[in-house]
Structure 1
Amino acid sequence: MAARSYGQYCGVTTAVELVGERWALLIIRDLLVGPRRYTDLKQGLPRIPTNILSARLKELQDAGVVRRVPLSHRGLVYELTAFGCELEPIVLALGRWGFAAMGEPEPDDIVTADSLTMALRTAFRPDAAAALPTTGYDLHVGDVGLRARVRGDALAVRRLDAGAGTGADAVIVAGPEIRGIISGELHPDDALARGLVTVAHGDTALLGRFATTFHIDPAAAAA
């Protein structure tokens, strides 16, 4: 448990004491994507001081949220325990709640593969996807590339390896404007016409399917 105590006997208090320290939830966000080495976590959170990263990992391990385990050729990695994995719906709900207040990115804001993966998982609408054909998307946002496959009400996302062939139905290239597509504030046809988003491979109509499959209504999130 973190050193700070709020001195209250309450489940919310205990949760905040366990995972409420600065950077802790972002470490958990990245570990929800998969096990990570210390260097992977540092690369994904470039602004975190190394001493803070070490301290947070130790606190999360002591709390039973994270454990350190050997993973074949990757050596020692950090992964979430079963207790830590229970945070997934909470983190996704926080992502939807925060989406309404994101606004425009600052000049030095970055998008990482893990943050974009969790953004897609946050915005995924399994009910809408279940009514659509199986579709594979290669999504490029800045320097980050992901491959998302939607089959029925299931979503699988992985990092797109450099030089990987085009195995997707649609290759979507975007910048921060992808948020407008997900929010519905930017219509896919308008985004294409203005050159804000491009479909580099596949039928451009698949951008509309993407917008249906991945959607967060900011007004509903803020309500």
Structure 2
Amino acid sequence: MKLEKVTEGKSPAPKRWYDDACGTALALEFLGERWSLLILRELMYGPRRFGEIKANLPGISANILTQRLDSMEAAGILMRRKLSSPANVQVYELTRWGQEAEPIIQVMGRWAARSKRHDPLAFMSTASAMQSLLTLVDHSALNKIEATVAFRFPDDSFIVRLERGEMSVVRGDVDAADVTFAGDTMAMRRTIYGKAGVNGEGLLSATGDPHVAGQFIDLFRLPEKIA
């Protein structure tokens, strides 16, 4: 295969951070700026409005969020579109290529969670909570359970499906779930990772099959900390 220097149409390519052919160096240019990777995480489960993204990233300013969204759009990671009536609002969503970056979030999250500096009780968005399940699930045990599990947070809902040894997460709600968990993301962490039980103060409420609920909760563990 012939190697050639790539140029982007008539417009000059953005100035490179690193004079390095490694794909990792280029990935850092796309996602290495502060907030970029977290914006990617927030969009992983579907389109979000500007205000929804900002509300789930405490500390980010509207100006910085606008800059990051613009640069990620220019890179082809996300796109913006207007929802049809009656919503009629602009949303941001990942491109197919942007979606392919999900394993990066999971690998980095699993690696960093071993640090003693990891605070499992800090703020957690609903998207982050669901991403943590995909990151910290015991894959070797997934073939022991087939179920549909619903998560109902105060302002968001997700469906977790476990089948054929795989787990998937989508945003949405379903009435025919084997188990439905309800509560906020702090309750989710106490129940799922703290193994503190269900249907108590500060814990997730659980309706449906209690055996499936127990099997599901047992799939997840925080990793051991480094020495």
Q: Same fold (TM over 0.5)?
A: yes
Unaligned runs of 5+ in 2: 1-12
Match of 1:208 among 165, 190, 214: 214
- Distance in structure 2 (CA, Å) of the matches to 1:150 and 1:127: 16
Unaligned runs of 5+ in 1: none
Match of 1:120 among 115, 133, 152: 133
Question: For 1:145-184, what aligned pairs fall within 5 Å after superposition?
Answer: 146-152=157-163, 153-158=166-171, 168-171=178-181, 173=183, 176=186, 178-179=188-189, 182=192
Question: For 1:31-180, what aligned pairs fall within 5 Å after superposition?
Answer: 31-73=43-85, 74=87, 75-101=89-115, 102-105=118-121, 109-125=122-138, 127-138=140-151, 140=153, 143=154, 146-152=157-163, 153-158=166-171, 168-171=178-181, 173=183, 176=186, 178-179=188-189
User: CA-to-partner distance for each residue in 1:116-157, whole Å, 9 max, x for gaps?
Assistant: 2222222344552332142424355xx565443324124234
Alignment CA distance shift 1:173-1:209 (3 Å): farther
Larger proportion of helix: 1
User: CA-to-partner distance for each residue in 1:90-115, whole Å, 9 max, x for gaps?
Assistant: 1121122222232343xxx4222222
Report how many residues are paired: 209
- Cα distance, 1:16 vs. partner? 0.7
For 2:59, what is the secondary structure of its paired residue?
Answer: coil
- Distance in structure 1 (CA, Å) of the matches to 2:204 and 2:98: 38
Moved more, 81-90 or 49-58: 81-90
Structure number with larger C-alpha Rg? 2
CA RMSD of aligned residues (A): 3.4
- Distance in structure 2 (CA, Å) of the matches to 1:134 and 1:71: 32
Alignment CA distance shift 1:138-1:118 (3 Å): same
Using the size of structure 2 for normalisation, the TM-score is 0.72
- Distance in structure 1 (CA, Å) of the matches to 2:42 and 2:185: 21
Determine if contact 1:36/1:79 at 8 Å carries over to the other structure: yes
- Cα distance, 1:194 vs. partner? 8.7
- Distance in structure 1 (CA, Å) of the matches to 2:62 and 2:113: 28
Sequence identity of aligned pairs in percent?
A: 30
